[in-house]
Structure 1
Amino acid sequence: MAISWLADVLRGAGVQVVEEGDWLSRSAGSSFSPIGVLWHHTAAPSSASRPAPALGICINGRSDLPGPLCHALVDYHGVFHVISANRANHAGRSAGSGPIPAGDGNTLMVGWEIDYAGDGGGGVRQEMTQAQYDASVLATAAVLDRLGRDASYARGHRETSTTGKIDPSFIDLDVMRADVAAAMGGAPPTEPPSGGTRLRATVGNLNVRTTPSTSGAVVASLANGTVMTVDCQAVGEAVTIGGNTSRNWARISSPASGYVTCHYVETGPNLRVDACPV
């Protein structure tokens, strides 16, 4: 099916849209019946003066993969460049993640290419801008609502890839899904403790763990979760909740300098990390 409604739905959600050429006809095949949204990063360094460096490739494709390579590219300023209303070559084979089954990811998912370098693209380490994040959350919520699906149908490419993709880098996907759920009118993410700073995007080589032990010390209780004290530590620590160590700590989005105490709030399947200034 064609998603010819895409530009109008995005505008209705308050997202700035640019329609790129004959996007209604641009296609990478006929098998397209999306049930979810997949997030990517382009690995191209973007900037305020060069906000959409990967736009041409996303439209026209590469020598090894014909375009379109996504349904929309999200530029540095959070503008959605709508590229295709039909099947796009963005997802490859899906290994299955959450409610997204294994199968042809290009059939199953609408794809956003968020234009930033990520973990070393072009020799640059770059995180998603806040404008890109906010627009991607709004757009994802609007499309999932149109598809009749909830926020669990939003996935990152690294969650569905069968070939070891790492995108989108420096983003806690559970947190991003929680923000999509909030945008869809669900329970909003828990606000950070007083003095804290909500973390969304991530940069640097930092992680967090509980203290004084791996199980943590409960310092306060909330109606919908538990706040625990943690310290900023090196990457590689795993979180232990009730003996379950299957979830790793989300990276924090600030350098360790000035942030020695952090908190996380566990709310069901979602993990939100907050950094508290010294």
Structure 2
Amino acid sequence: MKNYLPLMGEWNKMLYSLDWLENVLSSAGLKVAIQPGWKTRGHGDVGKIKGVMCHHTAGPKTGNMPSLGVVTNGRTGLSGPLAQLCLGRDGTFYVVAAGKCFHAGKGDWKGITTGNTSFIGIEAENTGINKPGDPKHDPWPAVQIDAYRRGVAAILKHIGQDESMCCGHKEYRLPLGFKNDPTFNMDQFRKDVAAIMNGITPIPALIPKQDGSGRSTLRRGSQSDLVKEIQKKVGFVGGDVDGKFGSLTEAAVRRFQRTHGLVPDGIVGPNTWAALNGE
């Protein structure tokens, strides 16, 4: 437990133990957004950290990290913070708290039953529905899963633990079957985390530079008449149809991808081009 920290305009607050989270994630090359007051936020301090617990938010299908407020402030019947970290769909880690969070509940992993005080919780934005055809079906973007693995690997390395000390909420929470988060396969996830920790980085599936019709793969920063075509087809709003692939265009592409059952990575590659043209 750290010393009291004087904050301007507030009563002194306790600086909690996990104040290293920002630096560890940033040093791993990850995108990090810190939330105001995070170093003094928590339900008291944590104990000795033994591992990382993975969750999904079961939040809205749209938006990068719409559940951030709930995780930070809590909900009816459960006060926040609800996890130390949030993970947006674009792979950004939001650092919420340095103290204890209410994310684990009653459970057991490797004989450890003190989930809230012994595990760092990560709430990744996802509806929790993994059923094609369901209106809330929410495929995990590759960029988000990659950041999830790398963030967990960086934390485990920092605390001196191997991949076995990463668990899903569905594996910890008792009775088993009570929770289903996260929806991806945790055994494979741990293998990928181990590969990163051992310097054998999984190679992401690369998006081809062009599709079969010669249309270029476009993303934020692109500028062309093809971008104008995209802006018109995805229902771009909030700016001119100017052929410049900025943040508003990316957001519109993500919305289009989600409504068409595609991975919402904001990149217009072969699959998205096909959907845009009804192919």
Q: TM-score range by the shorter chain?
A: 0.5 to 0.7
Hey, what's the Cα distance between the residues in 1 that align with 2:113 and 2:49?
12
**Alignment-derived partner of residue 167 in structure 1:** 181
Q: Which has the larger radius of gyration?
A: 2
Hey, what's the Cα distance between the residues in 1 that align with 2:105 and 2:135?
25
Question: What are the within-5 Å matches in structure 2 for residues 68-217 of structure 1?
Answer: 68-96=81-109, 100-119=110-129, 124-163=136-175, 164-169=178-183, 171-185=184-198
How far apart are residue 132 of structure 1 and its match?
A: 1.2
Hey, what's the Cα distance between the residues in 2 that align with 1:158 and 1:186?
28
Aligned residues: 188
Q: Is the 8 A contact 2:65 2:89 kept in 1?
A: yes
**Alignment-derived partner of residue 39 in structure 1:** 54
The answer to whether structure 1 residue 17 and structure 2 residue 32 are counterparts is yes
Hey, what's the Cα distance between the residues in 1 that align with 2:143 and 2:201?
19
Q: Which amino acid aligns with 1:167?
A: D
Greater share of strand: 1
Hey, what's the Cα distance between the residues in 2 that align with 1:138 and 1:102?
24
Hey, what's the Cα distance between the residues in 1 that align with 2:91 and 2:145?
7
Gaps of 5+ in 1: 192-196, 199-253, 255-278
How far apart are residue 119 of structure 1 and its match?
A: 2.0
Hey, what's the Cα distance between the residues in 2 that align with 1:64 and 1:125?
27
Q: Which amino acid aligns with 1:115?
A: E
Identity of aligned residues (%): 35
Q: Which amino acid aligns with 1:74?
A: L
Q: Is the 8 A contact 1:52 1:115 kept in 2?
A: yes
Hey, what's the Cα distance between the residues in 2 that align with 1:116 and 1:95?
24
Deviations 1:240-260 (A, max 9, x none): xxxxxxxxxxxxxx9xxxxxx
The alignment's TM-score, normalised by the length of structure 1, stands at 0.63
Gaps of 5+ in 2: 2-16, 207-261, 263-279
The answer to whether structure 1 residue 7 and structure 2 residue 17 are counterparts is no
Q: Is the 8 A contact 1:4 1:85 kept in 2?
A: yes
